[in-house]
Amino acid sequence: MATVLLARRLFTPLETIDDAVLVFEDGVITAVGARAAVRIPPEARVLDFGDAVLAPGLIDIHIHGGAGHDVMEGSDESLAAVERLMATHGVTSYCPTTVTAPVDATLRSLDALGKAVERASRGDGDGARTRPLGVHFEGPFLSHAKRGVHPPTLLQPASRELFERMWHAADGRVSVMTIAPEIEGALDLITEASRRRVCVSLGHSDADLPQTRAAIQAGARHATHTFNAMRPLDHRDPGLLGAVLTSSAVTADIIVDGIHVDPVVVDLFLRAKGVEGAVLITDAISATGMPDGTYMLGGFAVQVRDGRCEFDGRLAGSVLTLDRAVRNTMKFGDISLQNAVRMATINPASLLGLEKRKGSLSVGADADIAVFTPAGEVVRTIIGGVLN
């Protein structure tokens, strides 16, 4: 049976439709348009959301956990807890993100995560759970100088052999790899990962401008949590940030929680990358949705107080949710809800090469939908046509 959604406004997100109608059936969108132009199927279930806004479901390409669990635990119970929490915040798809750990532990986690992605790709599972699209490798190919909280003894030079083991452990279900372009073997690995259609993202790096440009030439096309764990921008030594902020060939993501990046710098970032080049992420850890306390990120304990996550005095992820990132972006950058939603929907979907299925309200796309108030609060989340 078809389901019809009615709302005051709809963001595709590239276009706005007023007095909107969206129809889906069997988990796929079959019609989108203004009420006067769309035929409502007879006997369809009709849901009228009044003054609300229909938008694509949000996509988080960098998240470590939530609800007290880390994605590297790998069990269905732990992933279910994380995914159900994300669903309440309008997120319909995500990339479970690893953190640098012993190789054997990483491979075990990747085996479990790869299987979870495979199940989701078949449409198996609970409609109340956000669906994984592919794994994000954050580590171990990172800079010692800008490692953040990644354990220094576990960092590795860029190695095709280790990448191959990680790739096979995840059964090829790899979407993103963060790498520091200046480390040994990086350019060769960037070329290989790009050949396999992995989105190579530059981060945790002390790279200078020539090293960054060489990485972009080799196939890197994104930047991880811009400003954080990067060589600072200097007017005589622009480094990685100088390349990222000025290159139209590179998109970039950012943690808009007001802690990782000052609101003024968020505004500067948005001016530099534009709405088409910016991606919102959370970098959320297991503490997300939980009270203050001690929580795990991979294999180490993080202290969380007043929204700030720290390990040994360093920031260690966040407790940000993606809908909050959307609202913060509206506030910090004087950005419309439509443009903020774009940065968390079609932009990450395009980065992953999934824009025909995800991140857009268009005929033939998956019925992954977030319903917002005009102020950006989530009213309802629909995942694969299942209402939550």
Cα distances (Å, whole numbers) of residue 235 to 211, 238, 241: 17, 6, 11
Which residues have C-beta within 8 Å of that of residue 262, sequence separation ≥ 6?
none
How many CB atoms within 10 Å of residue 317? Answer: 32
Three-class SS of residue 22?
strand
Handedness of CA 273, 375, 377, 55 (dihedral sign): negative
Rg (CA), the chain: 20
Tokens of 382: 């629909």
CA-CA distance, 187 to 323, in Å (whole number)?
Answer: 35
Cα distances (Å, whole numbers) of residue 210 to 40, 139, 215, 240, 331: 57, 22, 9, 9, 35
CA-CA distance, 260 to 283, in Å (whole number)?
Answer: 10
Handedness of CA 63, 68, 74, 75 (dihedral sign): negative
- Which runs of consecutive H residues, i.e. helices, occur in 196-284? 209-218, 239-246, 263-277
Tokens of 72: 């590297």
CA-CA distance, 123 to 271, in Å (whole number)?
Answer: 39
Q: Is 122 exposed, middle or buried (0-12, 13-18, 19+ CB in 10 A)?
A: exposed
Backbone angles phi, psi at 311, to 5 degrees: -130, 120
Q: Which of 60, 206, 257, 283 is catalytic?
A: 283
How many helices and strands in the chain, by DSSP H and E? 10, 23
Tokens of 219: 């196939």
User: Terminus-to-terminus CA distance in the chain, angstroms?
Assistant: 18
Does 111 qualify as catalytic in the annotation? no
| Positions marked catalytic | 283
